[in-house]
A and B are shown apart, each in its own frame.
Chain A
Amino acid sequence: MADQLNKCIQITGDPYGYLAEWKKQNNKKIICCYPMHVPEELVHAAGMLPVVAWRSNEPVTLGHSHIPPYNCGLTRSFIDDLLKDKLNFFDGVVIYRMCLQAQGLPFIIGQNVNLPYLEYLSLPAIYPGLPTRDFLIKELERFKASLEEFSGRKITAEALNQSIAVYNKNRQLLSKIYEIRRQKPGAVKARELMAIVQSSMLMPKEENNQLLEELISELEKREPASQPKIRVIVYGGLCQTPHLDILDLIEELGMEVVDDDLYVGSRYFAGDVQITEKPVEALAERYLAHTPPCPTKGDYATDWTDYIIEMADKNQAQGIISLLIKFCPPHLCYYPDIKNKLAERGIPEVLIEVEHEVISLGQARTRLQTFAEIIGGV
């Protein structure tokens, strides 16, 4: 297997080992950024390594003494990992008021874990108007000051713009890889692409940029799949990776994921930050963007389903797979509208609910296979 891709798979296969080793080798602080919209560039400009929290692949045990099982897998596994002391390479955690579960985490963490730095942001709903914009900028300025205090380093506008440039580059490189997949369906497997995006969430962006550049040359040599398969879009997967077996299953059953709207996917790198004299405001603008439409942002006027349909049209997709993380209210509350609108348009859609606990794939197999049979015949 190609070198750089192998590296991505190794790192994402054991983020604990990777970060523990990185900590040993580098004299830098690591700040865990809880998904999905913490502006990592600020952490980066403060001279620390921002890392996006991930869902573990182990059953939750201690975590259930603090969070009931009817909460999403990421919340429970994150607390579980913290309590089991598996994340002691983190010098701090930043969470924001993305949903009720994220909202409840800082209290639990504060009561049970001794972290040098625990920050809670109140990024607002993106309602139109100045009050929201002004409040968001103020909150980001407050975050910046808090990072400066913890890191002992002042974040100048210049430094912040430099970090933004590095992040923009990373987004462009990931975007290029997605374009390769679009041009050559089947050349990159869905689980490989997820590992590539997640590698960016774990590595320093400079290193990841280098890796991605080399990876692009590797991937450009690949050929698309020889057999035409059913073209599908996968969307959803807010905040966390699903069990990768599900992605394999999609491909095994005769379907090709030609594009995605997943967090550990196209969402992570969607939308660059403008380089301006006021970089904090530029970061605010990225959060305020209506694309991609995010069900956690209170954005009632932008239709997520239209975005998904547009993506399907652009990629000539024949069907849409809804990857719904179990117990995720932002997606749950939106789902009926997506399902009904797709049905009205005659676009085949299937719901795959994804759980943290290892579940029998039999049910997912039946649903996905039926979906494939509906689109492509038996």
Chain B
Amino acid sequence: MGYFAGIDLGSLCTKVVILDMGKKIKSYTILRSGAVYKGVAETALNEALSKAGLEFKDLRYIVSTGYGRTRVPFAQKEVTEISCHARGANYFCPEVRTVIDIGGQDSKVIHVDDQGRPVRFVMNDKCAAGTGRFLEVMAGALGVDLDEMSELSFQAQELIEVSSMCTVFAESEVISLFAGGYKKQEIAAAVYRSIARRITGLVGQLGLKEKVAMTGGVAKSKGMVRALEEKLGITLIIAEEPQIAGALGAALIAREKDVSSA
């Protein structure tokens, strides 16, 4: 009996998934990253191990991914989050051919094959617009938390636009709109639509191939999902816990690597 771990060190959160030989998820953890990557990988792994009732020595292979992936000395291999999200999405739905991942500080669209391998990808990694960070900043500008902003967006009556591409400009735009008398509901909806536009542009560069899955923490935002589904004209496949897709994919690859080396 052996177990595999995938560690996804993102900019906002660190995720760990522990998988068994039969590819079943034994446990998982999501922790805020903070600035110190090395410490948090260990902490998160220990938490996941403890939830699974396992010890470090029970792990046969560990794969790290995410921005902090090169700073996990106890991982046997580091793999990009694109490959990992592709595997993770495929796990829940092997018919998925397009994966949209809106992460903390970047967003990506990936074409995947039936084995969950990435075929092509596009990324927006140059700036915060169109990412989880953008949502955080806008929620802050409205004086609400992310869940509240999502709820508010469903109550919007009018259609308004937040047009700016730059997060800083958009923030000042949101503040102006609010000061100008527009309601939080309308502004919230406009914020999600603004990201949806950005993501649609990314999707367009690769082409939309169904089925389409959404992974990453932002997939938990109902407001974001609705705006995206409306703009793309499709229903998105979202796992129960989409935030662990990367770590799950890493764990699956850990298992692949271990099996193939045996």
Residues in A lying within 8 Å of B, measured CB to CB: 343, 348, 353, 362-363, 366-367, 369-370, 373-374, 377-378
Contacts and interface: CB of A to CB of B under 8 A. Distances in A.
Contacts, number: 41
20 contacts: A343-B120, A353-B126, A362-B67, A363-B106, A363-B123, A366-B67, A366-B80, A366-B82, A366-B123, A366-B125, A367-B125, A370-B80, A370-B82, A370-B118, A373-B79, A373-B80, A374-B117, A374-B120, A374-B121, A378-B77
Nearest to A346: B119
A180 B224 CA distance: 54
Given A363-B106, A378-B257, 14 more contacts: A353-B126, A362-B67, A363-B125, A366-B67, A366-B81, A366-B82, A366-B123, A367-B123, A373-B82, A373-B83, A374-B119, A374-B120, A378-B77, A378-B253
Nearest to A353: B126
Interface centre among A353, A369, A378 (most CB of B within 10 A): A378
Given A353-B126, A362-B67, A378 B83 contact: yes
Contacts of A348: 120
B256 interface: yes
B83 A370 contact: yes
Given A362-B67, A366-B81, A366-B82, A374 B118 contact: yes
A374 B126 CA distance: 22
Contacts of A378: 77, 79, 83, 253, 256-257
Nearest to B207: A343
Contacts of B257: 378
Interface centre among B67, B80, B119, B256 (most CB of A within 10 A): B80
Interface string B182-226: 000000000000000000000000000000000000000000000
A334 to B, nearest CB: 15
Contacts of A343: 120
Contacts of A363: 106, 123, 125-126
Contacts of B117: 374, 377
A337 to B, nearest CB: 13
B103 to A, nearest CB: 11
A373 B125 contact: no
Q: How large is the interface on B (under 10, 10 to 19, 20 to 34, 35 or more residues)?
A: 10 to 19
A360 B167 CA distance: 19
Interface centre among B81, B82, B253, B257 (most CB of A within 10 A): B82
Interface in B42-66: none
Nearest to A350: B121
Nearest to A326: B126
A353 to B, nearest CB: 7
Contacts of B106: 363
Contacts of B77: 378
A162 to B, nearest CB: 49
Contacts of A377: 117
A369 B106 CA distance: 16
Contacts of B121: 370, 374
Contacts of B118: 370, 373-374
A216 B117 CA distance: 42
B173 to A, nearest CB: 20
A375 B121 CA distance: 13
Nearest to A339: B205
Contacts of A353: 126
A125 to B, nearest CB: 29
A130 to B, nearest CB: 42
B140 to A, nearest CB: 24
Contacts of B80: 366, 369-370, 373
B26 to A, nearest CB: 22
Nearest to B63: A378
Contacts of A367: 123, 125
A147 B80 CA distance: 54
Interface in B77-91: 77, 79-83
A348 B126 CA distance: 22
Contacts of A362: 67
A362 B120 CA distance: 19
A193 B118 CA distance: 32
A207 B80 CA distance: 46
B253 to A, nearest CB: 5
Interface string B91-129: 000000000000000100000000001111101011000
A164 to B, nearest CB: 44
Interface string B69-83: 000000001011111
Contacts of A366: 67, 80-82, 123, 125
A362 B70 CA distance: 10
